[in-house]
A and B are shown apart, each in its own frame.
Chain A
Amino acid sequence: MVPRSYKTDLWIDWCPGCGNFGILTAVVKAFEELGLDPSKTVIVSGIGCSSKIPHFVNVNGVHTIHGRAIAFATGIKLANPELTVVVHGGDGDLLGIGAGHFVTLGRRNLDIVVIMHNNGVYGLTKGQASPTLPMGVKTKALVKPNIQQALNPIALAISAGYTFVARGYAFDSEHLKNLIKMAIEHKGAAFIDVLQPCVTFNDVFTAEYYRKRVYKLDEQPEWNPVAEKPEERVEKMIKAIEKSFEWGERIPIGIFYIDKTQSTLEERYSQRIPLYPSIHPAKSNITRDVDKPLIDNNMFEKIFKEYIVDVEHI
């Protein structure tokens, strides 16, 4: 296998010191070590500082609209189940405007990975409180302390039905890389909550703050997050959810929950439509004859003539 670089040559415009650099490093290393085929790998993101990441990784990338990355990714994965699909989004993107899609992916257990850049703020729009910022905390850009409660992403993901749920820390790239590899290899919906310092707007949850507090669940001998049999699920879920509320002097990172007992959405579809996924939309015929598309350019322009506008070329 020829080692390849998964980094593009674009200038990265995150603020110096931003935790997103650590996440990018981990993603690139994980892809490299798994030797993913760039033509069969897709990063889908929403809107936010974090969502710029597809531009920096040399695989297929789709930078979509705020909150909708999971919806796009669902379509991509169902249309071509042979792809490895990884969603990146901010805490505002995935748990604010996109919370409905986030929960739905858990219920579906579609085989994609969601990596959440959790910085406690809306970084791109100058530091408003995000859904993960605890009540009573006052970060730089807030005039008064946060008046809303935080939600717990790990507990939400587990109760929504995600079958791989983990937490990483942006500046422990080696540990995060391993989590990303495991999440990609897991069959079913996987979620990684990544603690990400935002140097510009979050002066409370800083790199210094996390460095002193994070500890690894995988180093705790008694910790076993895997539900192998259906009868173990509830007990493991409750233990994981309880663990996810540990936040203060010590903050756990690592795998909280793995469920090996649930079928994926692709498997459920293939039971209903036996030809799927051996024949899927990306493999289906979209031409009338050999090289005549169902709708050619002329036909397209005729159908949509009222909607086509000329834009200025720069």
Chain B
Amino acid sequence: MPGYKVQVDTSKCIGCAQCYVACPNKVFAIINKKSVPVNPDACVGCRACIVKCPTNAITIVPRDIYAHYARFYKST
């Protein structure tokens, strides 16, 4: 019953692994030079990956709350 949905836009991702290093829960793995959320259920929505990602490739959407809340979780 995960609380967040983690998405990586592979067209933007440059495989720099900053998200992998920043994530306290090891949600990501770098596969073929792209970040993949291999452990998505462990996401706690802390945004560490979002603020580190140089290309704004990551979106974290809370699954269970109002849609307008989601905008806070997109990289800007």
List A residues at the B interface (Cβ < 8 Å).
5, 7, 9, 11-12, 14, 16-19, 21-22, 24-25, 28-29, 32, 171, 173, 197, 199, 207, 211
Q: How far is the CA of A25 from the CA of B64 in the complex (A)?
A: 12
Since A21-B45, A25-B45, A207-B24 are in contact, a sample of 17 more A-B pairs with Cβ atoms closer than 8 Å, ordered by chain A residue number, is A5-B64, A7-B64, A9-B65, A9-B66, A11-B72, A16-B50, A17-B22, A17-B48, A18-B46, A22-B25, A22-B46, A25-B3, A29-B1, A32-B1, A173-B44, A199-B48, A211-B26
Q: Which residues of B contact A21 (CB under 8 A)?
A: 44-46
Complex-state Cα separation, A45 to B62, whole angstroms: 24
Instruction: Return the CB mask of B1-45 against A: 1 if under 8 Å, else 0.
Output: 101000000000000000000101110000000000000001011
Shortest beta-carbon distance from A157 to chain B in Å: 26
Residue in A closest to B66 when the chains form the complex, CB atoms: A9
Select one of B44, B47, B65, B69 contacting A171, CB under 8 A: B44
B51 surroundings in chain A (CB, below 8 A): 16
**6 examples of A-B residue contacts, CB within 8 angstroms:** A7-B64, A9-B65, A19-B24, A29-B1, A197-B24, A211-B26
Partner of B46, one of A5, A14, A32, A211: A14
The CA-CA distance from A103 to B44 in the complex, in Å, is 32
Rank and list the top 6 A-B pairs by shortest CB-CB distance, nearest first: A17-B48, A207-B24, A21-B46, A16-B47, A21-B44, A25-B44
Chain B: interface residue total (CB-CB under 8 A): 21
Q: Which residue of B lies closest to A208 (CB)?
A: B24
Known: A11-B72, A29-B3. A22 touches B24 (CB 8 A): yes
Interface pair A7/B62, CB less than 8 Å apart: yes
Contacts of A19 in B (CB 8 A): 24
CB distance from B68 to the nearest CB of A (A): 7
B3 close to A7 (CB less than 8 A): yes
Check if B65 sits within 8 Å of A22, measured CB to CB: no
- Residues of A near B72 (CB, < 8 A) are 11
